[in-house]
Amino acid sequence: MELILTRTLARARALDATAMVWVITAVLLLILIVGPTFFLIKESIFVPDEVGLIEVTGHYGFANFIEVFTNDLYVSPIFWTVIVSVSVGISSVVVGALMAWAVARTDIPFPGMIRTGALLSFVTPPFLGASAWVILAGPREGWLNHVYRWVTGAGPDSYMFDIFTIPGLIFVMGLYVVPLVFIVALSGLNNISSDLEDASNIAGAGTLSTMVSVTLPLVLPALFAGLILASLEAMIIFSTPAMLAIPAGQHVMTTQIRAFMQSDDYQVGLAAAFALPMLIAAIGLIWMRRKALGRRGYATIGGKGARRRPQKLGSYRWLAFALCIAPLGCSLLLPAAALGMTSLMKTYTGGVQLSNLTLDHYYFIFTNDSVSGSIWNTLLLGAMAATAGTLLAGLIAYISQRRLVRGHQFMAFLATVPIAIPGIVLAIGLFAAYTREPVVLYGTLWILFIAYLTKYLPIAFQTSNAALMSIHPELEESARILGANRLAVFAQITVPLFKAGLIASWILIFMPSIRELSSSVLLWTTKTKVVSVVILDFYEEGRLDIVSALGVMLMVITLFVVIIAYRILGRDFMRT
């Protein structure tokens, strides 16, 4: 009897809370990623026969796919999505790569200013940039067109810029994708020693010739990765096409998906069928990016931190600086000025004069119950998603790094999969999963919380994973020898050692969560609006004054978070 009791106690000690935490973590991952994907696929092959108030009946087949890929009305958005994505990708690579080369490889003035400007452009919500460029380059009331008519004496119907065109869409999307390519290309260039470039210069080659014949081949994998990321971002973004392409009378895939979901008819199946190829394309592009960055044969990493000596530009230094600042000015300075001035004007067409200045728009956004409620929802959801995502990502990173359970590779894979799921596609899967029994979350903040947590989990996982790599497991093993279980070791030993990485993970989830739109636009209800959805609503009502005030508020919050992130991560924030 005593022997049986001893064995029972031993088994109880072995089955401590640690194993349960690992199991719960794995189950949560499956629910977050596999669940919405399963319902997305299921909904794409569900053809409704009868739509009732409570239940939708139908059968399974491929009628949804046949409809969306044979109907000219739906094929056109696919065509324009490809055109816009490729155009944005190519133009962004050209501009972003030249900027990165100038900063990393030349003696251009103020390279730190360009790095910081690129980072601020990257974290600026694209829908704010689109709103600002409507104020700047609208064909009738755009400020730049007013200047054009004033300078040339052209008539009131004449204009030089029309942002409501496909070229205008490509221009604005490119402004906020260029920094992504810049960051990727800059990272690639910083890992390459300048020895070969020095040899080329000694052999008599000029700066331009060296860049084309030596530097470009070395950084080609990073540029290809940048092209893929830029094209992917242009393919999956919703806000900019919604603000610029729809007024031009043209849908792209993301706006067409929203049109399906807003239809009076039940078209969730059509939306899912339309979204599934987008998901497959996104996964394919992410895979291609991994393959490109894995081709280390192009890189030559020298000793002592890959020594780099700048190419001398001579009298062209300031011209290069001006060319680098130009896209940043178009993505930061002009939009910030447009939004800031419009937010203080009674009418944005009334000009900058004392009689037209007011603070009423700011008073409105903080006193209107609907708008102030959306601000509260946004901050609450951002904090919830950041806290849960940081905890979950830290646990997954710890499990995969320390290889604690069988299948730890699968958990790490699941934690990174959502990076390939476009937000609007994820929203369809969540809508299909949580608008019916047994779990009905639609109409609550919880469905938006799940969307944000799923979408930004890979960011936190990669950050936590990188932080854990620098921590040797010897201290953990010492605590284990003294009798602590894995969970206690993680909480008392590991977490304090990589708390900076956890704080960084929290910031890197919170910041994009407060500006998220692509998922929110399909999942919000009257009581669960967030700031990004409210901005889109006011934009569609033509209230650019309220849009500007909300935009300024959001930009101030974003800038504050970026400053905190820089304090924690330093320059590593850009790389992260």
Domain ranges of the chain: 17-46+359-576, 62-334
pLDDT score recorded for residue 14: 45
Residue bearing tokens 């930009």: 555
Specify the pLDDT at position 308: 59
CATH topology agreement for domains 17-46+359-576 and 62-334 = yes
Report d(CA 96, CA 104) in Å as an integer.
Answer: 12
Question: 451 with 307: CB under 8 angstroms?
Answer: no
CATH code at 62-334: 1.10.3720.10
Its pTM stands at 0.86
Q: Contact at 8 Å (CB) between 505 and 511? A: no
Three-state DSSP at 173 gives helix
Q: What is the mean pLDDT of the chain?
A: 83
- For helices 216-236 and 423-434, angle between their N-to-C axes, nearest 10 degrees: 40
Give the pLDDT score at 381: 95
CA dihedral 548, 554, 559, 561 (to 10 degrees): 180
What are the structure tokens assigned to 401, written together?
């790094």
Using the 8-state DSSP alphabet, how is residue 302 labeled? -
Q: What's the rounded Cα separation, in Å, for the pair 109 and 117? A: 14
Strands 435-436 and 56-60: unpaired
Q: Where are the alpha helices (DSSP H) in 124-215?
A: 126-137, 143-152, 166-175, 178-190, 195-202, 207-210
pLDDT for the residue 252: 93
Cα 323 to Cα 25, 301, 503: the distances in Å are 49, 29, 36
Domain 17-46+359-576 has CATH 1.10.3720.10: yes
Residues in the chain, pLDDT under 50: 1-15, 295-306
pLDDT of residue 109: 92
Task: Determine the distance from the C-alpha atom of residue 202 to the mean position of all C-alpha atoms in its chain, rounded to a whole number.
Answer: 43
Closest-CA residue to 254 (of 50, 518, 476): 518
pLDDT at residue 49 in the model: 77
Residue 214 is predicted with a pLDDT of 65
Cβ–Cβ under 8 Å, residues 512 and 418? no
pLDDT of residue 300: 46
Q: Alpha-carbon distance 44 to 272, whole Å?
A: 5
